[in-house]
Amino acid sequence: MFCAVLLLGLAGALACTTSGRKFDVDGISGLEPGHTTENQVRDMFGSPISIRTHSYGGSAWTYEFREEVRHDTGMLSRIGQWIARFFGFRTYGSPVNLEYKNEIEHRLVVFFDDDAIVEDYSYEKTETPTRRVY
C-alpha cells in the first residue's frame, strides 16, 4: 500500500501534455524555396493542421506542436502528510509547494506559389518557463 501511494505521488509530481501534431524540426533545413514541392513537404512533415488558399493561387500550410512539462511538489507534500499521520505525528505543518512549468511551442508556416512550389517559410520556437509558489 505504501509503495503504491508513493508511486502515485511521484507520477503526479511530473506531468507532460501536448497539443497539435509533432513534426520533424530538423527537416526544416531541407526546405528549399523555388525547389521543394507540396508533396515533398507532406512527406517531410506529414499533413498540416491548416491550409490557407490565397486569391492569387498560392497557399500556406501551418504545422504547430505544443508541449508542456510540469513539475509540482503538491502531491509529494500530501504523501508526506499521509505518512506523518500514518505514524501518528500530528504536528506536520503545511509546507510550501512549488510548481515549475515549461511550455514549448513550435510553429512552421510554409508558403507555396501557384505551381505548388515552396516560395518561403517561417519557423518559430517559443519557450515559456513559469514558476508558482502555493
Residue listed under C-alpha cell 505551381: 115
pLDDT tens digits for range 25-68 = 999 999 999 999 999 999 999 999 999 998 889 999 999 999 99
Q: For residue 132, what is its C-alpha cell?
A: 508558482
The residue with greater pLDDT, 118 or 9, is 118
Instruction: Give the C-alpha distances (Å, rounded to integers) separating 86 from 3, 38, 55, 76.
Output: 14, 63, 70, 15
For the residues 94-122, what does the mean pLDDT come to?
Answer: 92
Provide the pairing of β-strand 50-53 with 14-20.
Answer: unpaired
Q: Is the Cβ–Cβ distance between 56 and 113 less than 8 Å?
A: no
* Pick from 7-11, 30-34, 47-51, 82-86: least confident: 7-11
Res 3: pLDDT = 46
Q: What percent of the chain has pLDDT over 90?
A: 60
**Domain range annotation of the chain:** 2-133
